[in-house]
Structure 1
């Protein structure tokens, strides 16, 4: 995306453009945090309202995408701090997975279970490790972009990525050996 002519656009045009450009991407990012589609949709709306209200404060020190990601991640963190239903949602996802196991081929079920377990492992990481893994591996952002979004140094991002991978290593090796809890 090229540089926008912010002065030439009205605020309504700006937010409309940003929603078209980043709406789905932000909703997917939010879903990686909250793992609930209705909540992700509600948060996406809240985030774009916040962006609309704060457009005048965007200083251009980073890209607009980085700024929007920062707003979105901060909203997600606030939501997760106040949200005590996370374990229930994960349990519901596992129940849904088990229901599907009765309908599909066994290999497909095992693959889904392993995928769900990987997501669950990532979601169980402490927020500093979880967010760098989600942004780096799932959103394919560079270390520099992750650094800007989270407001930490690039070396901090690298350390958190390393430690996050280390925390995932043993459970992943157990999954590969077929030592699946269930």
Structure 2
């Protein structure tokens, strides 16, 4: 009888010990995965990649834009996938609308432009940064307003400014009437901050 009880006790002890080892191993594995995901290497490779970095830097500089802001816009618009098309017809990395691109081509005197060229990353970034720069000037460098205009259209933003009494110091994203635009502006600014911290 004593031997049976002893074997039973040992069996329970082994099971408890095994569960403890499994629990501790799981905790260690979770910590390792968490630290790995939070590492700069993982963030750069899988969460906030930065292809076309030189092209972005070139056109951001020529249009007096923050490079990290442009990266944040591209990440929000296309996740750096240059063949992306939206349901509304926007094309490429910076999701430039064909009619907007044709207007930009007129402004910069580029008669050889065709909409198909928006599939080219260099052209898409050049046109997208030109347009973003024009919004930056129009809204006196106010990132919230210029990003809202990039998403919802400059006409809507001017209408909101008139209707709600906003000025060029406007910062309260929560007051933007369109939920999509509120979320877009918040996302771009978050991306901008993240790109600045990862790619100094």
TM range, normalised to the smaller chain?
Answer: under 0.3
Higher gyration radius (CA): 2
Greater share of residues in helix: 1
* TM-score between the two structures when normalised by the length of structure 2: 0.25
**RCO (CA 8 Å, sep 6+): is it higher in 1 or 2?**
2
* TM-score between the two structures when normalised by the length of structure 1: 0.27
